[in-house]
Amino acid sequence: MLRFEVLLSFTIILVTTVLGGAQKPTDRLTKAYPNFELDVVVDGQPLNEYYSRGRTYVDAIQGAEYELRLRNNSADRVAVALSVDGLNTIDARHTSAWNASKWVIEPYQTITISDWQMSSERARRFYFTNERDSYGAKLGQTANLGVIAAVFFRERSRPVPITPEYPVRRDKMEAPQSQSVRRGDKDNAATGIGRNVRNDVRWVDMELDSRAVGEVTIRYEYRRGREDSRGFCPEPNF
Protein backbone atom coordinates (compact mmCIF):
# COMPACT_ATOMS: atom_id res chain seq x y z
CA MET A 1 0.00 0.00 0.00
CA LEU A 2 1.11 3.53 -0.72
CA ARG A 3 0.18 5.51 2.37
CA PHE A 4 1.07 9.09 3.22
CA GLU A 5 0.69 11.47 6.09
CA VAL A 6 -0.90 14.63 4.73
CA LEU A 7 -1.72 17.90 6.39
CA LEU A 8 -5.25 19.03 7.17
CA SER A 9 -5.82 22.62 8.22
CA PHE A 10 -8.71 23.40 10.57
CA THR A 11 -8.63 27.02 9.45
CA ILE A 12 -8.92 26.01 5.80
CA ILE A 13 -11.92 23.79 6.47
CA LEU A 14 -13.79 26.75 7.90
CA VAL A 15 -12.95 28.91 4.90
CA THR A 16 -13.93 26.46 2.14
CA THR A 17 -17.68 26.87 2.61
CA VAL A 18 -17.37 30.59 2.02
CA LEU A 19 -15.07 30.32 -0.98
CA GLY A 20 -16.84 27.43 -2.67
CA GLY A 21 -19.50 29.62 -4.31
CA ALA A 22 -17.20 32.42 -5.43
CA GLN A 23 -17.58 33.48 -9.07
CA LYS A 24 -14.53 33.35 -11.32
CA PRO A 25 -13.63 36.38 -13.47
CA THR A 26 -14.81 36.07 -17.06
CA ASP A 27 -11.40 36.95 -18.53
CA ARG A 28 -9.65 33.93 -17.04
CA LEU A 29 -7.60 31.57 -19.19
CA THR A 30 -9.29 28.29 -20.09
CA LYS A 31 -7.96 25.56 -17.83
CA ALA A 32 -6.09 22.77 -19.59
CA TYR A 33 -7.05 20.43 -16.74
CA PRO A 34 -10.46 21.66 -15.49
CA ASN A 35 -10.66 19.45 -12.37
CA PHE A 36 -8.06 21.53 -10.51
CA GLU A 37 -7.46 25.26 -10.26
CA LEU A 38 -4.84 27.51 -8.70
CA ASP A 39 -5.22 31.26 -8.20
CA VAL A 40 -2.78 33.78 -6.77
CA VAL A 41 -4.90 36.11 -4.64
CA VAL A 42 -4.15 39.60 -3.30
CA ASP A 43 -6.70 41.46 -1.13
CA GLY A 44 -9.32 38.81 -1.88
CA GLN A 45 -9.02 39.10 -5.68
CA PRO A 46 -7.19 36.67 -8.02
CA LEU A 47 -4.42 38.29 -10.02
CA ASN A 48 -4.98 38.41 -13.78
CA GLU A 49 -3.07 35.77 -15.71
CA TYR A 50 -1.04 36.27 -18.87
CA TYR A 51 0.27 33.71 -21.33
CA SER A 52 3.77 34.55 -22.54
CA ARG A 53 6.75 32.54 -23.79
CA GLY A 54 4.65 29.36 -23.51
CA ARG A 55 4.01 29.89 -19.78
CA THR A 56 1.33 31.31 -17.51
CA TYR A 57 2.27 34.43 -15.52
CA VAL A 58 0.82 36.83 -12.98
CA ASP A 59 2.24 40.24 -12.14
CA ALA A 60 3.69 40.36 -8.63
CA ILE A 61 2.99 43.41 -6.47
CA GLN A 62 6.03 44.54 -4.50
CA GLY A 63 5.52 44.09 -0.75
CA ALA A 64 1.97 42.68 -1.01
CA GLU A 65 0.90 39.64 1.01
CA TYR A 66 -0.73 36.98 -1.15
CA GLU A 67 -2.65 33.73 -0.87
CA LEU A 68 -2.90 30.61 -3.00
CA ARG A 69 -6.46 29.46 -3.64
CA LEU A 70 -6.75 25.82 -4.73
CA ARG A 71 -9.97 24.31 -6.06
CA ASN A 72 -10.78 20.60 -6.38
CA ASN A 73 -13.58 20.28 -8.94
CA SER A 74 -13.55 16.48 -8.83
CA ALA A 75 -15.65 13.98 -6.86
CA ASP A 76 -12.53 12.58 -5.14
CA ARG A 77 -10.57 13.72 -2.14
CA VAL A 78 -7.11 14.75 -3.26
CA ALA A 79 -3.75 15.62 -1.73
CA VAL A 80 -1.77 18.45 -3.30
CA ALA A 81 1.96 19.04 -3.15
CA LEU A 82 2.21 22.84 -3.14
CA SER A 83 5.54 24.59 -3.62
CA VAL A 84 6.56 28.25 -3.79
CA ASP A 85 9.98 29.15 -5.20
CA GLY A 86 10.74 25.43 -5.31
CA LEU A 87 10.13 25.03 -1.55
CA ASN A 88 7.32 22.93 -0.12
CA THR A 89 4.87 25.17 1.75
CA ILE A 90 4.60 22.74 4.69
CA ASP A 91 8.23 21.90 5.45
CA ALA A 92 10.28 24.04 2.98
CA ARG A 93 11.94 20.94 1.52
CA HIS A 94 12.95 20.63 -2.12
CA THR A 95 11.71 17.20 -3.22
CA SER A 96 9.71 15.51 -5.95
CA ALA A 97 5.95 16.06 -5.79
CA TRP A 98 5.42 12.38 -4.91
CA ASN A 99 7.71 12.58 -1.87
CA ALA A 100 6.53 16.02 -0.75
CA SER A 101 4.29 16.78 2.22
CA LYS A 102 0.78 17.53 0.99
CA TRP A 103 -2.41 19.43 1.78
CA VAL A 104 -5.84 17.73 1.71
CA ILE A 105 -8.74 19.03 -0.38
CA GLU A 106 -12.18 17.44 -0.09
CA PRO A 107 -14.38 16.85 -3.18
CA TYR A 108 -15.63 20.09 -4.77
CA GLN A 109 -13.89 22.12 -2.10
CA THR A 110 -11.61 25.17 -2.12
CA ILE A 111 -8.77 25.79 0.31
CA THR A 112 -6.60 28.86 0.76
CA ILE A 113 -2.92 28.58 1.69
CA SER A 114 -1.42 31.93 2.65
CA ASP A 115 1.63 30.98 4.66
CA TRP A 116 4.71 28.88 5.23
CA GLN A 117 3.61 26.35 7.88
CA MET A 118 6.09 26.64 10.78
CA SER A 119 4.43 24.26 13.29
CA SER A 120 1.08 22.60 13.99
CA GLU A 121 -0.26 25.96 15.22
CA ARG A 122 1.85 28.70 13.64
CA ALA A 123 2.57 29.94 10.13
CA ARG A 124 4.24 32.94 8.45
CA ARG A 125 2.68 34.85 5.58
CA PHE A 126 3.70 34.83 1.91
CA TYR A 127 4.59 38.24 0.49
CA PHE A 128 6.18 39.45 -2.73
CA THR A 129 9.74 40.67 -2.33
CA ASN A 130 13.11 40.41 -4.08
CA GLU A 131 15.71 37.66 -4.19
CA ARG A 132 17.88 39.12 -1.43
CA ASP A 133 14.96 39.21 1.04
CA SER A 134 13.37 35.92 -0.05
CA TYR A 135 12.81 32.85 2.13
CA GLY A 136 14.68 30.85 -0.51
CA ALA A 137 17.78 33.05 -0.09
CA LYS A 138 17.65 32.58 3.67
CA LEU A 139 17.71 28.80 3.08
CA GLY A 140 20.28 28.94 0.28
CA GLN A 141 17.72 27.72 -2.31
CA THR A 142 17.25 30.33 -5.06
CA ALA A 143 17.14 28.21 -8.26
CA ASN A 144 13.34 28.33 -8.58
CA LEU A 145 12.34 31.83 -7.52
CA GLY A 146 9.12 33.05 -9.12
CA VAL A 147 7.56 29.60 -9.58
CA ILE A 148 4.39 28.35 -7.85
CA ALA A 149 3.47 24.71 -8.53
CA ALA A 150 0.59 22.51 -7.36
CA VAL A 151 0.60 18.77 -8.14
CA PHE A 152 -2.56 16.81 -7.32
CA PHE A 153 -2.82 13.13 -6.30
CA ARG A 154 -6.14 11.31 -5.99
CA GLU A 155 -6.98 9.32 -2.88
CA ARG A 156 -7.07 5.62 -3.72
CA SER A 157 -10.58 4.47 -2.93
CA ARG A 158 -11.74 2.68 -6.09
CA PRO A 159 -10.36 1.58 -9.50
CA VAL A 160 -9.14 4.59 -11.44
CA PRO A 161 -9.42 4.93 -15.26
CA ILE A 162 -6.18 4.75 -17.21
CA THR A 163 -4.60 8.20 -17.55
CA PRO A 164 -1.77 9.49 -19.73
CA GLU A 165 1.74 8.90 -18.45
CA TYR A 166 2.12 12.63 -17.83
CA PRO A 167 -0.83 14.65 -16.48
CA VAL A 168 -2.14 17.50 -18.59
CA ARG A 169 -0.80 20.78 -17.25
CA ARG A 170 -1.79 24.36 -17.80
CA ASP A 171 1.91 25.19 -18.11
CA LYS A 172 3.41 22.76 -20.61
CA MET A 173 7.04 23.69 -20.02
CA GLU A 174 9.52 21.60 -18.04
CA ALA A 175 8.99 20.88 -14.34
CA PRO A 176 9.60 23.82 -11.99
CA GLN A 177 12.61 22.16 -10.36
CA SER A 178 14.57 22.70 -13.58
CA GLN A 179 13.75 26.41 -13.87
CA SER A 180 16.13 29.09 -12.67
CA VAL A 181 16.09 32.86 -12.39
CA ARG A 182 18.66 35.17 -13.93
CA ARG A 183 21.66 35.14 -11.65
CA GLY A 184 22.77 38.37 -10.02
CA ASP A 185 19.46 40.22 -10.52
CA LYS A 186 18.31 41.06 -7.00
CA ASP A 187 15.11 42.76 -8.26
CA ASN A 188 13.55 39.51 -9.50
CA ALA A 189 10.26 38.70 -7.79
CA ALA A 190 10.46 36.18 -4.96
CA THR A 191 8.49 35.24 -1.83
CA GLY A 192 9.47 36.29 1.66
CA ILE A 193 8.73 34.75 5.05
CA GLY A 194 6.44 37.29 6.69
CA ARG A 195 4.47 37.97 9.84
CA ASN A 196 3.37 35.26 12.24
CA VAL A 197 -0.25 34.07 12.08
CA ARG A 198 -2.23 31.30 13.77
CA ASN A 199 -2.96 28.28 11.57
CA ASP A 200 -3.94 25.04 13.33
CA VAL A 201 -3.28 21.86 11.37
CA ARG A 202 -3.15 18.11 11.96
CA TRP A 203 -1.73 15.11 10.11
CA VAL A 204 -4.01 12.46 8.57
CA ASP A 205 -3.30 9.18 6.74
CA MET A 206 -4.25 8.82 3.07
CA GLU A 207 -3.61 6.10 0.52
CA LEU A 208 -2.79 7.84 -2.77
CA ASP A 209 -2.53 6.81 -6.39
CA SER A 210 1.10 6.75 -7.47
CA ARG A 211 0.44 8.89 -10.55
CA ALA A 212 -0.47 12.57 -10.37
CA VAL A 213 -3.84 13.46 -11.90
CA GLY A 214 -3.16 17.15 -12.48
CA GLU A 215 -0.56 19.86 -12.22
CA VAL A 216 -0.85 23.65 -12.36
CA THR A 217 2.19 25.91 -12.58
CA ILE A 218 2.14 29.71 -12.41
CA ARG A 219 5.12 32.02 -12.66
CA TYR A 220 5.15 35.47 -11.13
CA GLU A 221 7.30 38.44 -12.08
CA TYR A 222 7.33 42.18 -11.66
CA ARG A 223 6.02 43.59 -14.91
CA ARG A 224 9.23 45.47 -15.64
CA GLY A 225 11.00 42.10 -15.69
CA ARG A 226 9.39 40.87 -18.92
CA GLU A 227 8.10 42.20 -22.19
CA ASP A 228 4.37 42.81 -22.54
CA SER A 229 3.12 39.99 -24.76
CA ARG A 230 0.29 42.20 -26.09
CA GLY A 231 2.77 44.17 -28.21
CA PHE A 232 2.55 47.83 -27.10
CA CYS A 233 5.17 50.28 -28.33
CA PRO A 234 8.19 50.56 -26.01
CA GLU A 235 9.03 53.86 -24.36
CA PRO A 236 12.01 55.60 -26.00
CA ASN A 237 15.13 56.37 -24.00
CA PHE A 238 15.76 60.14 -24.03
Q: What are phi and psi of 223, to 5 degrees?
A: -55, -35
The pLDDT of 130-140, averaged and rounded, is 94
Of 42, 112, 36, 32, the residue nearest 72 (C-alpha) = 36
Instruction: Determine contact, residues 46/228, Cβ cutoff 8 Å.
Output: no
Dihedral (C-alpha) 101, 46, 13, 34: value to the nearest 10 degrees?
Answer: -70
pLDDT at 179 over 90: no
Residue 233: predicted pLDDT: 57
Tell whether pTM > 0.95.
Answer: no
Residue of 135 and 168 predicted with greater confidence? 135
pLDDT at 191 over 80: yes
Phi, psi at 72, each rounded to 5° = -105, 105
pLDDT, mean of residues 209-226: 86
**Rounded distance between C-alpha atoms, residue 116 and residue 7, angstroms:** 13
Q: Residue 104 forms beta bridges with which residues?
A: 79
Q: How many CB atoms lie within 10 A of CB 61?
A: 17
Position 8 scores a pLDDT of 56
- pLDDT tier at 52, thresholds 50, 70, 90: confident
Q: Say what the pLDDT of residue 235 is.
A: 56
Are 216 and 33 in contact, with CB atoms under 8 Å apart? yes
157 pLDDT exceeds 80?
no
- List, in sequence order, every residue forming a beta bridge with 83; answer none if it has no partner: 88, 149
Mode of pairing for the β-strands spanning 189-198 and 122-130: antiparallel
Reported as a pLDDT band with limits 50, 70 and 90, residue 237 is low
Mean pLDDT of 36-54: 93
Cα–Cα distance, 86 to 211 (Å, whole number)? 20
* Domain ranges, ordered by start, for the chain: 3-21+31-225
